[in-house]
Amino acid sequence: MDGDFQVNYVKDTRPCLVVPLLALLGACDDMGVDPSLLSGPRVLAIRAEPRVLPEADAPDAPVMLEALVHDATSFDWQLCAAPWQGADNGASLACASGAVAIGTGNPMIFTPPDELDSFYVLLTAGEALPAVLRLTRSADAPLPNPEVTALQTEDGSPLPTSLTPEQALAIDVVATNPSETELVATLYTTGGGIDPWRSVLPSGSTITAPAEPGPFKVTAVVRDEAGGTGWRTETIEVAPAATVTP
């Protein structure tokens, strides 16, 4: 699949994260870890624009790489002509063909080498697990990435600006679908919980607000079967419970 995104086999102090991202759905649940809860540095998604590169005989065209990252401020990108492999007992990733640094920052723009029909870019974002995006060339015109246009309640209303502690709210993810393939939504939160945290659209989820007052964020990442990715984040305030005056 073009534009594949994965979190690789890199050791982390958090349990169940020495596995690919897609395996977290079962592994983390089995270990009692909530995969939707953002409690430390983490790369949630990477996308390229355009997401498929023109053929090598086409004029050089820059590509913008962009990542959705929680709790990281440094961004280093490397290119590998072959898939990255786990090294040092899974503590790092290695490139057998020799890694090439291509830039820093987020987003980051670079011009891919013409001699490669496909390659892999690796993002190291602070202390987060490294993440890899595969890019390929094609004669077909690239489709736009999907775009998450709204996070809304079941009746189509915008998300409320505030909830009470531990209040539950059913929400839907609304997204464009240029590829007209199946869209999978993965949801994350900085507090409270989300169930289910991954679903095939148009299925919805239920968020539960944190118990303590203050702001928390809800993020939806949408991926299609053609390798496209889009995301959106909303902030909700947990209001203090009402004080009852006798």
pTM of the full structure: 0.84
- Greatest Cα-to-Cα distance within the chain, rounded to the nearest angstrom: 79
Name the residue among 156, 133, 126 with its Cα closest to residue 49: 133
Nearest to 96 by CA among 107, 87, 106, 105: 87
Q: Which two three-digit tokens encode residue 143? A: 């489709």
Alpha-carbon distances of 93 from 11, 99, 103, 131, 202, rounded to whole Å? 10, 10, 18, 10, 36
Is the bond leading into 113 cis (omega within 30 degrees of zero)? no
Domain with CATH 2.60.40.10 in the chain: 5-136
User: Who wins on pLDDT, 98 or 77?
Assistant: 77
The CATH 2.60.40.1080 domain(s) of the chain lie at 148-238
Output the CATH code of domain 148-238.
Answer: 2.60.40.1080
Per-residue model confidence (pLDDT) at position 80? 95
CATH class in words for 5-136: mainly beta
- For the stretch 78-135, pLDDT in tens is 999 999 888 766 567 889 889 999 999 999 999 998 888 999 999 999 999 899 999 9
